[in-house]
């Protein structure tokens, strides 16, 4: 899916907004969008960004305190 960045957007804020996580997603978005990192930390408004339809989830099991 293609989205357009809003004013003062960052890649990690976009990942949080669409995937509800940033771990691993920021790196994937930067790989999928060559040259995006060259625009700086705060993206210009209207930048077109390609996002994967589904977020990849980490495969490492998480340990809960009550387990």
- pLDDT mean values, one per 10 residues, the chain (67 residues): 94 93 91 94 95 68 75
Distance, in Å, from the CA atom of 67 to the CA atom of 63, rounded to the nearest integer, reads 7
Q: What's the pLDDT score for residue 62?
A: 74
Res 59: pLDDT = 62
pLDDT of residue 56: 54
| Distance separating alpha carbons of residues 29 and 57, to the nearest angstrom | 14
* Alpha-carbon span 36 to 29, nearest angstrom: 9
The predicted structure's pLDDT at residue 66: 80
- Yes or no: say if 4 and 48 are a contact pair by the CB < 8 Å rule: yes
Q: What is the pLDDT of residue 27?
A: 93
Whole-number pLDDT of residue 63? 77
C-alpha span between 22 and 16 (Å, rounded): 6
């Amino acid at each position: 899916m293609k989205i357009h960045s809003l004013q003062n957007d960052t890649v990690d804020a976009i990942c949080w907004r669409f995937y509800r996580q940033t771990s691993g997603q920021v790196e994937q978005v930067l790989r999928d969008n060559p040259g995006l990192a060259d625009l700086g930390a705060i993206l210009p408004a209207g930048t077109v960004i390609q996002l994967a339809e589904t977020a990849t989830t980490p495969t490492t099991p998480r340990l809960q305190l009550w387990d």
